[in-house]
Chain A
Amino acid sequence: MIEVRGLQKSYQDVPVLREIGFTVQRGDFFGIIGPNGSGKSTLLKMLSGVIAVDAGEITLAGKPLGRYTRKELARVLAVLEQEGLPPVGFRVREVLEMGRFPYQNWLGEEKTDVGPLIDEIMQLLRLTPLADRTLDQLSGGEKQRVALGKALVQKPQVLLLDEPTTYLDIGYQIQLMDIVRTWQKTTQVTVVAVLHDLNLASLYCDRILMLHKGEQIGVGTPQDMLQSDRIESVYGTRPIVMEHPVHRLPQIMLQSGS
Chain B
Amino acid sequence: MKKQWLLWGGAGSLVLLVSVVVSISLGAASLPLSQVWLILLHQLPGMSEWIPVTWPESSEQIVMKVRFPRVVLAILIGACLSLAGAGFQGVLRNPLADPFTMGVASGAAVGAAFLILFGLQFALLGEWSTPVVAFLTGLVSLWIVLALAKTQGKLQTETLILSGVVIQAFLGSLVSFMVSLSDQTVNEIVFWLMGSLSFRGWAFTYVLVPYLLIGMLVLLSYARSLNLFALGERQAAHLGVHVDKTKFVILLVSTLLTAAAVSIAGVIGFVGLVVPHLVRLMVGPDYRILLPMATICGGVYVLWADTLARMLLAPTEIPLGVVTAFLGAPFFAYLLKQKKQIGRR
Residues of A near any B CB (own CB < 8 A): 48, 50, 70-75, 78-79, 81, 83, 85-90, 94-95, 98-99, 101-102, 104, 106, 108, 154
Q: Are A70 and B240 also in contact (CB < 8 A) when A90-B286, A108-B224 are?
A: yes
B240 touches A73 (CB 8 A): yes
- Residues in A whose Cβ lies below 8 Å from that of B227: 90, 98
CA distance A78 to B231 in the complex (A): 15
Residue of A nearest to B245 (CB): A70
Which of B230, B240, B242, B280 is in CB contact (< 8 Å) with A86?
B230
Residues on A with beta carbons closer than 8 Å to the beta carbon of B224: 98, 101, 104, 108
**Is B341 close to A, CB under 8 A?**
no
Give the Cβ gap from B287 to chain A, nearest Cβ, in Å: 11
CB neighbours of B238 from chain A (8 A): 48, 50, 74, 78-79, 81
Q: Does B339 contact A (CB under 8 A)?
A: no
Instruction: State whether A94 and B239 are in contact (beta carbons under 8 Å apart), knowing that A88-B230, A101-B228 are contacts in the complex.
Output: no
A70–B232 touching, CB < 8 Å: no
Interface pairs (28), CB distance under 8 Å: A50-B234, A50-B237, A70-B242, A74-B238, A74-B239, A74-B240, A75-B240, A81-B232, A83-B232, A85-B232, A85-B235, A86-B231, A88-B231, A88-B285, A89-B280, A89-B284, A90-B227, A90-B230, A90-B231, A90-B285, A95-B231, A98-B228, A99-B239, A101-B228, A101-B240, A101-B241, A102-B239, A104-B224
Residues of B within 8 A of A79 (CB): 234, 238
CA distance A101 to B284 in the complex (A): 20
A86 to B231, CA, bound (A): 6
Contacts of A75 in B (CB 8 A): 240
Q: Which residues of A contact B338 (CB under 8 A)?
A: none
Distance of A74 Cα from B288 Cα, bound (Å):
22
Known: A90-B285, A101-B228. Is A70-B237 also a contact (CB below 8 A)? Answer: yes
Chain B residues whose CB sits within 8 angstroms of the CB of A101 once the complex forms: 224, 228, 239-241
For B234, what are the chain A residues with a Cβ–Cβ distance below 8 Å? 50, 79, 81
Tell me if B221 is interfacial: C-beta within 8 Å of chain A.
yes
Complex: A106 Cα to B246 Cα, angstroms: 14
B contact set with A: CB distance below 8 Å: 221, 224, 227-228, 230-232, 234-235, 237-242, 280, 284-286, 288, 342
> What separation, in Å, do the CA atoms of A85 and B231 have in the docked complex?
6
Give B288's nearest chain A residue, CB to CB. Answer: A108
Identify the closest chain B residue to A100 (Cβ): B239
Bound Cα distance A75, B238 (Å): 10
Instruction: Looking at the assembled complex, report how far the CB atom of A150 sits from the nearest CB atom of chain B, in whole angstroms.
Output: 8
Nearest residue, chain A, Cβ from B281: A89
In the complex, which residue of chain B has the Cβ closest to the Cβ of A79? B238
CB-based nearest B residue for A68 = B240
User: Which chain A residue has the least Cβ–Cβ distance from B223?
Assistant: A108
Q: Within the assembled complex, what's the spacing in Å between the Cα atoms of A106 and B288?
A: 13
Most chain A C-beta atoms within 10 Å of own C-beta, residue among B224, B232, B240: B240
What residues on B are CB-neighbors of A95 within 8 Å?
A: 231
Distance between Cα atoms of A197 and B238 in the complex (Å):
25
Within the complex, the shortest CB–CB distance from B278 to chain A, in Å, comes to 14
Complex alpha-carbon distance, A71 and B238, angstroms: 9
**Once the chains bind, are B240 and A102 in contact (CB under 8 Å)?**
yes
Residues of B within 8 A of A89 (CB): 280, 284-285
- Give the residues in chain A near B280, CB-CB below 8 Å: 89
A82 to chain B, nearest CB (A): 10
Kindly state the separation between the CA atoms of A89 and B230 in the bound complex, as whole angstroms.
9
Are A106 and B242 neighbours in the complex by a CB distance under 8 Å?
no
Contacts of B286 in A (CB 8 A): 90, 94
Contact A81 B237 (CB under 8 A): no
Known contacts A74-B240, A98-B228; 6 additional CB pairs below 8 A are A70-B241, A72-B240, A83-B232, A90-B286, A101-B224, A101-B241
Cβ–Cβ < 8 Å partners of B235 in chain A:
81, 85
Q: Are B231 and A98 in contact (CB under 8 A)?
A: yes
Residues of A within 8 A of B230 (CB): 86, 88, 90
CB-CB < 8 A to B288: which residues of A? 108
Residues of chain B contacted by A104 (CB below 8 angstroms)? 224
Q: How far is the CB of B155 from chain A (nearest CB, A)?
A: 15
A72 to chain B minimum Cβ distance, whole angstroms, is 8
Query: How many Å from the CB of A156 to the closest CB on chain B?
Result: 10
In the A-B complex, the 10 residue pairs with the smallest Cβ-Cβ separation, listed nearest first, are A74-B240, A71-B240, A102-B240, A89-B285, A79-B238, A101-B239, A70-B240, A88-B230, A74-B239, A108-B224
A157-B253 Cα distance, complex, nearest whole Å: 37
Closest to A102 in B: B240
Q: Report yes or no: A98 in contact with B239, Cβ–Cβ below 8 A.
A: yes
Measured CB to CB, the nearest residue on chain A to B342 is: A87
Chain B residue contacts of A108, Cβ below 8 A: 224, 288
Write the chain B residue with the least CB distance to A71: B240
Docked complex Cα distance between A83 and B342 (Å): 17
User: Which A residues are in CB contact (< 8 Å) with B241?
Assistant: 70, 101
The smallest beta-carbon distance between A29 and chain B, in angstroms, is 20
Q: Which residues of B contact A154 (CB under 8 A)?
A: 239
For the complex formed, measure the closest distance between the CB of A93 and the CB atoms of chain B, giving whole angstroms.
12
Determine the distance from Cα of A238 to Cα of B235 in the docked complex, in whole angstroms: 38
The residue in chain A whose Cβ has the minimal distance to the Cβ of B233 is A50
- Give chain A residues whose Cβ lies under 8 Å from the Cβ of B228: 98, 101
